[in-house]
Amino acid sequence: MSQKFDVNFVKAQKPAGGIAVVLQAPEAIGAPGEVDPAGVVAKAAEIGRFRAKALKTLDIVAPHGSPFDRILLLGLGDLAKMAAHDWLKAGGAAVAKLRDSESVTVYLDAAGVEVGGQAAADFALGLLLGAYRFETYKTKKDEDEPRTNNKKPTKVTIVTAAAAAAKKAYAESEAVASGVLLARDLVNEPANVLGPVEFAEKAKALEKLGVEVEILTEREMKRLGMAALLGVAQGSERPPRLAIMQWNGGKPKDRPVAFVGKGVVFDTGGISIKPAAGMEEMKGDMGGAAAVIGLMHVLASRKAKLNAVGILGLVENMPDGNAQRPGDIVTSMSGQTIEVINTDAEGRLVLCDALWYCNDRFKPQFIIDLATLTGAVMVALGSHHAGLFSNDDTLAARLTAAGLASNERVWRMPLGKEYDKMIDSKFADMKNTGGRYAGSITAAQFLQRFVKDAPWAHIDIAGTAMGSPTDEINQSWGSGFGVRLLDELVRTNYES
Ligand code: MN
Ligand code: ZN
């Protein structure tokens, strides 16, 4: 259980004990003499050389003569240069120092500058994201561990002149937080608990938010001809599922936008088995599906005014006696045949049927797929950008802009017929790997063969969905990457 918060926004507040968070400068604390009657905060700031640099803090315990038990000074740097995601980071930096607290008052309007309702809501969103911990399976708590099992939420009062606007904006922030935290929970959850069937149930649970959900079983997928997806699943005791979620917040005849997620609940590599070292991380090979379900949760929670489809291909890649072999040839739903060279290149086999189905049934405005698809993308970009591949310049530009705004950044990589040629097969229409070089590009070329002319983007999140470096707003192994990126994309470009 992560720390819970009860967040309120007010225009003014008499100092009332607990912790005060004061942004930027001691004088932001309100009426002179009210909070810092003896001038100790100002003096401590001077002695502690607090210069209000971005995300730098000074913790002042039990200041003499102050009504607060603690005063936390938090710097913001140059206010004029702050982006939305800097406010998120400020909230995250604050919450790192606030764990184990019952009552917090945040004096937001830095040094007399009114920061506005959106910034206040973003700060609060940063608190929610930064406080997240996955501790479901920790039965013992360290003495100095924060009190995250506390059932009582931390009461946070944010003091700002823009309280009314902040309250309104915060309703959306809460929706975003719930989607990101859902995605993180799913990535962190071990595969023995979260199989394809259990994951599909998580999608089904979105019905309570007004999402229409269909779950296809193995039999129905067989009837649709999804032999590429089914071939991956056949080495596992646990049957596959295809989850189809529809959020209808737009006009009935509006074409939907569509998101497809790779949901390999565990990837052993199959018969082309992976080495033991680090294999446990393959419980996160459903990070794409987690982001898509998280996004659908956000869209439904904030009642987004558009039609959106989310499709999850849910399988487990295991090497039992029934597992597919290298050299096997499968016929995808599209009718195109695929020679399986490497059973560890399974994500594209799952996605190709899900993509084809999505385009065929919904004729969407665009399709974006998210997948922890290739190690090669980590070689190219590390953990600070996801790889973006697209057949549509407008969509690619919008995703890049949404990445900069949300700080879930993407970097566009090339596609081209020379790369496409690398996956031609001797025995079938294509093979599922293109060899060692340009591995993330040939994976994207493979997917492109299943979207016809639909505007499409593929986002390879192998380096960003899990195990990426933690920061102010993410202390978790599973990051929830993609939820805020796609919510930003939709909000900015596709809502009426
Ligand atoms: Mn694999
Ligand atoms: Zn995989």
Choose the weakest-confidence range: 114-118, 189-193, 241-245, 483-487: 114-118
pLDDT for the residue 1: 55
Q: Mean pLDDT across the stretch 151-166?
A: 93
| Distance from Cα 344 to the centre of ligand 2, integer Å | 6
Q: Which residues contact 211 (CB under 8 A, 6 or more apart)?
A: 245, 246, 247, 296, 300
For 233, the token pair is 């699943």
11 is catalytic: no
Q: How deeply is 406 buried, as exposed, middle or buried, from its count of CB atoms within 10 A (0-12, 13-18, 19+)?
A: buried
Q: Please say if 361 is a catalytic residue.
A: no
Annotated catalytic residue, options 99, 274, 305, 412 = 274
What pLDDT score was predicted for residue 90? 97
Indicate whether 180 pLDDT > 90. yes
**Residue of 348, 398, 409, 431 with catalytic role:** 348
Where does the pLDDT of residue 13 fall: very low under 50, low under 70, confident under 90, or very high at 90 and above? confident
| Helix/strand/coil percent split, the chain, to 5 | 35, 20, 45
Q: Which residues sit with Cβ closer than 5 angstroms to ligand 2, an ion?
A: 264, 267, 285, 347
pLDDT band at residue 113 under the 50/70/90 scheme:
confident
Spell out where 180-328 has E strands: 212-216, 241-248, 257-267, 307-317
Structure tokens at 495: 């809502």
Which residues lie closer than 8 Å to 325 by C-beta, 6 or more apart?
271, 340, 343
CA–centroid distance, 312 to ligand 2, in Å, is 14
State the distance from the centre of ligand 2 to the C-alpha of 236, rounded, in angstroms. Answer: 14
Pairwise CA distance, residues 182 & 200, whole Å:
14
What's this model's pTM, rounded to 2 decimal places? 0.96
466's tokens: 């899990």
- Give tens-digit pLDDT for 261-276: 999 999 999 999 999 9
Q: How far is the CA of 266 from the centre of ligand 2 (A)?
A: 8
